[in-house]
C-alpha cells in the first residue's frame, strides 16, 4: 500500500461565533486508501470537510494536498458528495449533469462522452430529459454521485453516500467506490454506518467534541480494543460451565439451554486461554472457541463514552 499522504491537516482549529468546531485537529490520509471520518452529530466532521473543500478557512493550522499547501488550484482534483444534495430541482438531469461537469474543467465533448458511459453503466439513460424534481431521493443521489466522480478526482469526499438508497443500489455504489480505490482514487468517507466502515475503510479518525480522540488503521484499532473475551460453543449444562471457570474466567452472557450451548466468557486474573480451556474441558465438551473482536460500532461507542466521561471528570 502506498504510504504517501494525499491530504494532511496539521493542528487545525476553527470557531464559529464562540462555538469551537475543531480544536487542534491533525489527520493524515494515505494515498490510495479509504479513510473513514467518523463522529457523533456536531462533532466537527462537516467543518473539516468544508475546510478541505475551501468553503471556509481554518483559524489556525496547515492543510497539505499531496505535500503542497492546499490551494484553489487543487479543487479540480477533489470531488465532494455532500450529505445534503445540491441539484437544481427545476433543471433537466442531463443539462444539469453536463453543466456541473464543465464546472470541474471538462470540455463539453469529454463531459458528454463520460456521462454517456456512466448513464449506461447505471442504466439511467431514460432520466436524461427528466427534471430533478421528478426523481426520487435515491435517483437524484445516483446522478449526483456520477457528477462527483466524473472528472476522476484524486481525492473523493463522500458524506453519507448511501443515504436514500435501497440495499441493491447501496451495493452498486459500494462496488463503484471499491473500483475507484482500485484505480488509485483516495476516498474520505464520512458515515454513521459502522458496518460500512468495517467493510470499506482502511483507516479511520474519530472526532468528538471538536477533537480527534481515536485514529489509525481499522485492524490495528480493533486489536487495540480487544478485551480477552471469548465465545464458547459447548455440549453440557450452563451450571457445569460456570463452575468450571474457577478463577480464570468470568461469565458475561449465555444463550438458552439446549443441546448446543453458547456462552461469552472474559479472562480474568491474568489467566491464559490454555488455563481456561484446561479447566472447562474437564466439565463440558468444547465444540467451538473463538475470540470476540469488538466491532467498529462497539469501539465508536466505547471511545466516545470514555472521552465524555474523562472530560466531565477533568
- The structure's pTM equals 0.89
Q: Alpha-carbon distance 107 to 112, whole Å?
A: 8
H helix or E strand, kind and range, residue 213: strand 211-217
Cβ count near 243 (within 10 Å): 13
Q: Going by C-beta distance under 8 Å and a sequence separation of 6 or more, which residues neighbour residue 153?
A: 76, 77, 78, 79, 185
Say if residues 206 and 309 touch (Cβ distance below 8 Å): no
Confidence at residue 79, expressed as pLDDT on a 0 to 100 scale: 94
Cell of 5: 499522504
Confidence at residue 85, expressed as pLDDT on a 0 to 100 scale: 65
Three-state DSSP class for residue 56: coil
216 closest CA partner among 35, 23, 62, 49: 35
Q: What is the C-alpha end-to-end distance of the chain, expressed in Å?
A: 40
Q: How crowded is the C-beta side of 84, counted as CA atoms within 13 Å?
A: 2
Q: Residue 205: beta bridge partners?
A: 37, 215
Three-state SS annotation for 147-205: HHHCCCCCEEEEECCCCCCCHHHHHHHHHHHHHHHHCCCEEEEECCCHHHHHHHCCEEE
Give the start-to-end residue ranges of the domains of the chain: 5-223, 227-291
Q: Nearest 5°: CA angle at 139, between 86 and 156?
A: 55
Say if residues 268 and 249 touch (Cβ distance below 8 Å): yes
pLDDT tens over the chain, length 314 residues: 446 899 999 999 999 988 899 999 999 999 999 999 999 988 899 999 999 999 999 999 999 999 999 999 999 999 999 877 678 888 999 999 999 988 888 899 999 999 999 999 999 999 999 998 998 888 888 999 999 999 999 999 999 898 878 899 999 999 999 999 999 999 999 998 898 999 999 999 999 999 999 999 999 999 999 999 999 999 989 999 999 999 999 999 998 877 788 999 999 999 999 999 999 999 999 999 999 999 999 999 999 999 999 988 87
CATH number of 5-223: 3.40.50.300
Q: What share of the chain is helix, strand, coil (3-state, %, to 5)?
A: 40, 30, 30
CATH topology assigned to domain 227-291: Alpha-Beta Plaits (3.30.70)
Sign of CA dihedral 220, 221, 225, 229: negative
Q: 119-149 burial, b for 16+ CB within 10 Å, e for fewer?
A: beebebeebbeeebeebeeebbbbbbbbbbb
Amino acid at each position: 500500500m502506498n504510504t504517501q499522504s494525499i491530504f494532511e491537516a496539521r493542528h487545525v482549529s476553527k470557531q464559529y461565533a464562540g462555538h469551537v468546531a475543531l480544536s487542534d485537529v491533525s489527520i493524515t490520509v494515505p494515498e490510495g486508501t479509504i479513510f473513514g471520518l467518523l463522529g457523533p452529530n456536531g462533532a466537527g466532521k462537516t467543518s473539516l470537510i468544508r475546510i478541505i473543500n475551501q468553503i471556509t478557512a481554518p483559524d489556525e493550522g496547515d492543510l497539505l494536498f499531496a505535500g503542497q499547501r492546499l490551494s484553489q488550484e487543487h479543487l479540480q482534483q477533489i470531488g465532494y458528495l455532500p450529505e445534503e444534495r445540491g441539484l437544481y430541482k427545476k433543471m433537466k438531469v442531463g443539462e444539469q449533469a453536463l453543466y456541473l461537469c464543465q464546472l470541474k474543467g471538462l470540455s463539453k465533448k469529454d463531459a458528454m462522452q463520460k456521462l454517456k458511459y456512466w448513464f449506461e453503466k447505471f442504466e439511467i439513460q431514460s432520466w436524461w430529459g427528466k427534471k430533478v424534481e421528478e426523481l426520487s431521493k435515491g435517483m437524484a443521489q445516483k446522478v449526483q454521485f456520477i457528477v462527483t466522480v466524473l472528472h476522476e478526482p484524486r481525492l473523493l469526499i463522500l458524506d453519507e453516500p448511501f443515504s436514500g438508497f435501497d440495499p441493491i443500489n447501496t451495493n452498486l455504489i459500494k462496488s463503484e467506490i471499491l473500483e475507484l480505490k482500485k484505480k488509485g482514487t483516495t476516498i474520505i468517507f464520512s458515515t454513521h454506518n459502522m458496518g460500512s466502515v468495517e467493510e470499506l475503510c482502511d483507516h479511520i479518525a474519530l472526532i468528538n467534541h471538536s477533537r480527534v480522540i481515536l485514529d489509525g488503521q481499522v485492524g490495528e484499532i480493533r486489536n487495540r480494543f480487544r478485551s480477552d473475551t471469548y465465545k464458547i460453543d459447548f455440549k453440557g449444562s450452563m451450571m457445569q460451565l460456570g463452575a468450571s471457570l474457577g478463577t480464570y474466567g468470568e461469565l458475561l452472557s449465555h444463550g438458552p439451554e439446549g443441546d448446543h450451548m453458547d456462552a461469552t466468557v472474559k479472562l480474568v486474573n491474568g489467566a491464559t486461554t490454555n488455563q481456561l480451556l484446561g479447566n472447562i474441558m474437564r466439565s463440558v465438551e468444547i465444540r467451538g472457541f473463538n475470540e470476540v473482536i469488538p466491532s467498529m460500532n462497539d469501539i465508536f461507542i466505547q471511545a466516545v463514552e470514555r472521552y465524555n466521561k474523562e472530560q466531565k471528570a477533568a
